[in-house]
Amino acid sequence: MGYTPMMQQYLKIKAEYKDSFLFFRLGDFYEMFFEDAVKAAEELEITLTSRDAGKDDRIPMCGVPHHSAENYIKTLIEKGYKVAICEQVEDPKTAKGVVKREVVQLITPGTIMEGQMLEDKENNYLAVLHASDEQMFGFAYTDMSTGDTFVMKIENDWSSVLSEIYNRPIKEIVIDDSINESFRDDLKEKMQLTVSSAIHSKEIPDQMDYLNESVNEPLLQYVCKLLFQYIYHTQKRSIDHLKKAQVIELQEYMTLDMYSKRNLEITHSMMRNEKYGSLLWVIDRTVTAMGARKLKKWLERPLLSRQLIDRRLEMVTGLYDQFMEREGVRESLRSIYDLERLSGRVSFGNVNARDLLQLRNSLSKIPYVKQLLKQFNHTTLQELGDKIDPLEELRELLDRSIAEDPPVSITDGGLLKDGYDEQLDQYRHTSRNGKSWIAELERKEKENTNIKSLKIGYNKVFGYYIEVTRANLHLVPDDRYERKQTLTNAERFITSELKEKEALILEADEKSVDLEYRLFLLIRDKVKTYIPALQKLADIISEIDVLQSFATVSEENNYVRPTFSKAHSVRLEESRHPVIEKVMKNESFVPNDIQLDEDKFMLLITGPNMSGKSTYMRQLALTIVMAQVGCFVPAKHAELAIFDQIFTRIGAADDLVSGQSTFMVEMLEANHAIHHATNNSLILLDEIGRGTSTYDGMALAQSIMEYIHDHIHAKTLFSTHYHELTSLGERLAGLKNIHVKAEEINGEVVFLHQIHQGAADESYGIHVAKLAGLPDALIDRAQQILTQLETKNVEPTESQQKRETNLQEEQMTFFVEEKNNTRKQSKAEENVVALINQWNILEMTPMEAMNKLYELQKKVKGMKGRN
């Protein structure tokens, strides 16, 4: 026996969406079958059942209610899955055979539009990637919820592509056969993206051609076409709110690779991978979702144009100088809805009356914002205000049409105001008068029949009825009342008069709801014509929000407006770290000066751990990023160069995903900086070489510094514990030694966190260990060993020399067959050698290594006892 016709329909549709969960509409439920059901039951934690599908064996089945499907879809999307929504596309009452069904939308991590599935302050990008060769890539991405679309050409190598992806909130990426298998694995495993296949064979409608108008280069035109094909053929509709693809010229923005963004904690902290503790956390005082998203975009792409940076700084200055007007702007912005995403929902067809009411309320605030901007003294703010279009016609349309408290559903009625449409008013009048007549009829029937408990009710199955309890049935007039329904404790009746009025009321109600729905769709279509104007307004409002955020945080934290040096020099007086300063709260952050110029463009920083070397390096980079996005900076005075790139090697984190050690990560990040930096770049290298042996590390650190000095001339801060490297200050003309001051007072080390000229004279490593709480006996022993090592250059006695020679010989011949001795290794010795060979020392923690040595020592002592 074969499958039932309905199950055959399911299997045919599922074959086209093999990589998606198929939500198959059956009545009030979306059902899933076979493997979909098994997997969905596990992921959604719902009951797995079974059903007869026409064959001998029952098949797995699970389902979710149609009215609450959004939450289940959200769960699957957040886990990286895709969901194909398969609806009934004909009326079951008129269907001949199996009801016709079609997939009406494919929901993927990169194409979600519903508000509950999106983070208000985060973009949600769908990207497309194509490789013309291994050195040239076309890359495009769009946020379906806002319509923003960008396209660019990425040169150099695959790491540049990964950096670009890492720096964007991309949730899904579409690729074609040009992307090789190893690159695909990186996208899935390293970047944790949903990877989808490009749709080549299908075209996009002519009305979407305008999206590609500003793109001229064939490579970029091709990736845009792939992007729009994927959107159109997954969403099954034209997306009117998508903006023209904007070509990003990467050379117009500062490059922040993924290492720098991570190490500098621009948008997320390294420890918790959350906003708290990041630069974004400090400077985000935006009050709209649009502004928060724009701020992140600006942080992801700091400017290189001095003219554009100065324009932003000038507007921030204007907002900074006039507190009362700025506060007025902030308060007005708080009431403005997310116009970007609202435009997307209007285009997509899922906006409701409450959304349009929010739009009306938002537009009512725009004239006040425009008026406030005219009150600022700075012409740049006045000019920005002049660009604002309050969209009075749209606001007036919504004001006279949308009810003050409409329902969520657009099919329940109650969406529109009285007076908006004459025919609708007539239906409402009939319905309201009819219901008043019903209330009056109930009063009269109680009086005529003397049945005090008599009541007139309504339900969708039986319509209007007169209900009488069994105790009062003897009082019912048989000549007028017609029995309609029998209940346990009552009887329901109808009269000819009530039947007549019921028909009028129900007809008016039905026609009213139907007409109101059609009128609402017409209003929505009118709003759709304003989408470009709404998007332009949203862009200006979000820019104002970011600028006021910069002004607010600058005033609160005593930041200063930076200036830019034509000589490409850096002079910061009393520079501070914006994040640490805020985290410390009431504690006083120790500021420091930073100076770099054409003659002295490298700083070699020495000093003990915990003294603040890394903080000093990071605060320079964060200050530069803040300045180049247009914000004031944490310093008393700031004169900066404009940097094209920032490269960092800060922190000692293994790349566990790819199995690379700390030292390999160090070398990869250093190599990335050396190959891509220019003389206009900033390089921060913290403790390079510490992941290998002392002499290897020192040699590599010195050669890296010399190479940067001689060949790149980039502004560089290099911290180290290798005090021997400080002698480079005498040989490298562009290098200057500085150190972080610490003092020993009564045997305790005190970190002053102050930068001084010259090299540090002591590392204070044992003092730091003491601060960390290591046992006193361990600290005392370390001090003894340090004293011995420091006096090692004293000429040893003859007995000491003899002991050291014997020890060296013993070490050299340990477990090895001696040439002049016939003794072979014992079985126990062979076991120990085998044990040592099994150790993977590079992957051990210090404590694990100590434990292994302790075990080895016990074995060796046992061997000596037996010998």
Query: Could you write out the three-class secondary structure of 1-45?
Result: CCCCHHHHHHHHHHCCCCCCEEEEEECCEEEEEHHHHHHHHHHHC
Rounded distance between C-alpha atoms, residue 616 and residue 650, angstroms: 12
Q: Specify whether 300 is located in the same domain as 447.
A: no
* Residue 119 DSSP one-character state: -
Q: Specify whether 77 is located in the same domain as 208.
A: no
pLDDT digits 0-9 by tens, 26-74? 989 999 999 999 999 999 999 999 998 877 678 999 999 998 899 999 9
pLDDT digits 0-9 by tens, 771-788? 667 787 887 777 777 677
* Residue 725 DSSP one-character state: G
Alpha helix (H) residue ranges in 63-187? 69-78, 158-166, 181-185
The residue whose two tokens read 């899904």 is: 172
pLDDT digits 0-9 by tens, 464-484? 999 999 999 999 998 899 999
Q: Specify whether 653 is located in the same domain as 719.
A: yes
Establish if 347 belongs to a structural domain: yes
CATH number of the domain bearing residue 323: 1.10.1420.10
Q: Specify whether 627 is located in the same domain as 758.
A: yes
pLDDT surpassing 90 at residue 710: yes
Q: Specify whether 157 is located in the same domain as 252.
A: yes
* Residues in the chain, overall count: 867
Is 138 known as a binding-site position?
A: no
CA angle, corner 362, sides to 356 and 367, nearest 5?
A: 135
pLDDT value, residue 700: 87
Q: What are the Cα distances from residue 40, in Å, to 79, 82, 83?
A: 11, 12, 11
Is 609 known as a binding-site position?
A: yes
Q: Specify whether 65 is located in the same domain as 137.
A: no
Q: How many domains does the chain have?
A: 6
Establish if 336 belongs to a structural domain: yes
Q: Specify whether 576 is located in the same domain as 706.
A: yes
The DSSP H or E segment spanning 745 is strand 735-745
Q: Specify whether 382 is located in the same domain as 436.
A: no
pTM of the predicted protein model? 0.82
Rounded distance between C-alpha atoms, residue 21 and residue 34, angstroms: 11
Q: Specify whether 634 is located in the same domain as 751.
A: yes
Q: How far, rounded to the nearest angstrom, does the alpha carbon of residue 788 sit from its chain's CA centroid?
A: 54
The answer to whether the CB of 153 falls within 8 A of the CB of 224 is no
Rounded distance between C-alpha atoms, residue 807 and residue 820, angstroms: 18
Is 608 known as a binding-site position?
A: yes
Backbone φ and ψ for 493, nearest 5 degrees, come out as -130, 165
Establish if 93 belongs to a structural domain: yes
Share of the chain above pLDDT 90, in %: 60
The DSSP H or E segment spanning 64 is strand 58-65
pLDDT surpassing 50 at residue 800: no
Rounded distance between C-alpha atoms, residue 223 and residue 546, angstroms: 31
Question: Domain span at residue 85?
Answer: 5-107
The answer to whether the CB of 296 falls within 8 A of the CB of 267 is yes
pLDDT surpassing 50 at residue 658: no
pLDDT surpassing 90 at residue 666: no
pLDDT digits 0-9 by tens, 226-260? 999 999 888 887 688 899 999 999 999 999 988 88
Is 691 known as a binding-site position?
A: no
Establish if 801 belongs to a structural domain: no
Q: Specify whether 705 is located in the same domain as 568.
A: yes
Is 671 known as a binding-site position?
A: no
Q: Specify whether 731 is located in the same domain as 669.
A: yes
Establish if 729 belongs to a structural domain: yes
Packing angle of the helix pair 34-44, 69-78 (nearest 10 deg): 90
- Other Cβ atoms less than 10 A from the Cβ of 311: the count is 16
Instruction: Tell me what the mean pLDDT of segment 69-80 comes to.
Output: 93
**Residue among 288, 268, 287 nearest 276 (CA):** 268
The arrangement of strands across the sheet holding 645-649 comes to 255-256, 645-649, 682-686, 715-719, 602-606, 735-745, 748-757
Is 258 known as a binding-site position?
A: no
Rounded distance between C-alpha atoms, residue 806 and residue 603, angstroms: 46
Q: Which residues on adjacent β-strands are paired with residue 61? A: 33, 49
The answer to whether the CB of 137 falls within 8 A of the CB of 96 is no
Is residue 173 classed as helix, strand or coil in its secondary structure? strand
Establish if 265 belongs to a structural domain: no
Q: How far, rounded to the nearest angstrom, does the alpha carbon of residue 575 sit from its chain's CA centroid?
A: 30
**Residue among 260, 516, 545 nearest 402 (CA):** 516
Bigger pLDDT: 717 vs 496? 717
The answer to whether the CB of 528 falls within 8 A of the CB of 454 is no
Establish if 97 belongs to a structural domain: yes
Bigger pLDDT: 92 vs 354? 354
Radius of gyration of the chain, Cα coordinates, nearest whole angstrom: 37
pLDDT value, residue 56: 67
Residues whose CB falls within 8 Å of the CB of residue 409, separated by 6 or more in sequence, listed in order: 352
The answer to whether the CB of 744 falls within 8 A of the CB of 764 is yes
Among 257, 291, 319, where does a domain finish? Answer: 257
Q: Specify whether 608 is located in the same domain as 549.
A: no
Q: Which residues on adjacent β-strands are paired with residue 63? A: 31
**Residue among 482, 451, 484, 481 nearest 468 (CA):** 451
Is 862 known as a binding-site position?
A: no
pLDDT digits 0-9 by tens, 389-399? 999 999 999 99
Bigger pLDDT: 156 vs 757? 757
Q: Which residues of 47-73 are buried (b: 16+ CB within 10 A; e: fewer)?
A: eeeeeebeeeeebbbbbbeeeebeebb
Is 612 known as a binding-site position?
A: yes
